[in-house]
Amino acid sequence: MKALLVFAVLVATSYAAEQEVLSLEYSKAVLGELRKCKAQFPSITEEDYRSLITDKKLPTTRDQECFAKCYATERGYYKGPGNLDLVKLKTNNAEKYKIPENLRTANEIDDVCVKKAKSVTDDCKTVTTFYVCRATTAREKGFKFAKYHPDATV
């Protein structure tokens, strides 16, 4: 009986740690918004753009920070310096994560990181602070954000 319980816990844990894939519709919508923002920042190379949107690179230049702010504004998360819409972020998480443990973890990460970004008064740095916090906190928790649908063109 103990062995069965341990097995059930292991299966649940490994299932919850699974990286989810965004729906094709959601992926296309996000990528369309990202392309619109990229057009506003010609200094962002195609290589930088791909790295930024696949979470392989965090914003390091002012244009990259403002590109991130543009995207957060398009998604409806960004409301002004130090002001990110936690309700909108959590609503968005519910669209992205179907595994309850992943949704819970994504929401916990956003709770922490929205609080951290509240003290930032610079327009573009508010969003960068949030994204850096998300990446760091996710790594600490062993959490992987949902990835784009394979049929969506990055």
Residue 79 belongs to a domain with what CATH number? 1.10.238.20
The tally of domains found in the chain comes to: 1
pTM for the predicted model, two decimal places? 0.81
Q: Indicate whether 146 pLDDT > 80.
A: yes
Tell me which residue of 151, 149, 139 sits closest to 23, measured CA to CA: 149
Distance CA 36, CA 34 (A): 5
Q: Examine residue 100 and state whether it is found in any structural domain, yes or no.
A: yes
Tell me the residue range of the domain where 115 lies: 19-141
Q: What angle do helix axes 62-75 and 46-53 make, rounded to 10 degrees?
A: 50
- pLDDT tens-digit series, residues 83-141: 999 999 999 999 999 999 999 999 999 999 999 999 999 989 999 999 999 999 999 99
Q: Examine residue 43 and state whether it is found in any structural domain, yes or no.
A: yes
Longest dimension (CA), the chain: 62
| pLDDT confidence tier of residue 17, bands split at 50, 70 and 90 | low
Q: Examine residue 12 and state whether it is found in any structural domain, yes or no.
A: no
